[in-house]
Amino acid sequence: PLDKDELGKSTWGFLHTMASYFPEKPTKQQSQDMSKFFNIFAQFYPCEPCALDFQEDIKKNPPKTSSRDELAKWLCNRHNTVNIKLDKPIFDCSKVHERWRDGWLD
């Protein structure tokens, strides 16, 4: 099985990429569906302590799905909440599209 760090790194890659390709002007349906996606994701993410904390976090900070920029920034802030918990560096959210859509590899 994937370990927690490998799973996390791959999952963040998927989530941030998805946010960076979310429509700039989503329909109401797309916004609602993306909010549902994150709520369902939080329920089934296969690392129990991670999922429980993420559920709490998105209860306090519900998904912002009115545009690509809003979603990408919201998700960046959620990732930073986890970074703080794990003593990892805070990511500069103004660089989120640069990191996940326009290029730069690590």
Q: Interface with ligand FAD includes 11 (CB under 6 A)?
A: yes
Q: Interface with ligand FAD includes 9 (CB under 6 A)?
A: yes
Q: Interface with ligand FAD includes 49 (CB under 6 A)?
A: yes
CB count within 10 Å of CB 71 equals 26
Residues belonging to the chain = 106
Q: Interface with ligand FAD includes 66 (CB under 6 A)?
A: no
Give the C-alpha separation, 96 to 17, whole Å.
9
Give the C-alpha separation, 40 to 26, whole Å.
20
- Enumerate binding residues for ligand FAD (CB under 6 A): 4-5, 8-9, 11-12, 16, 45, 49-50, 53-54, 76, 79-80, 82-83, 86, 88, 91, 96, 99, 106
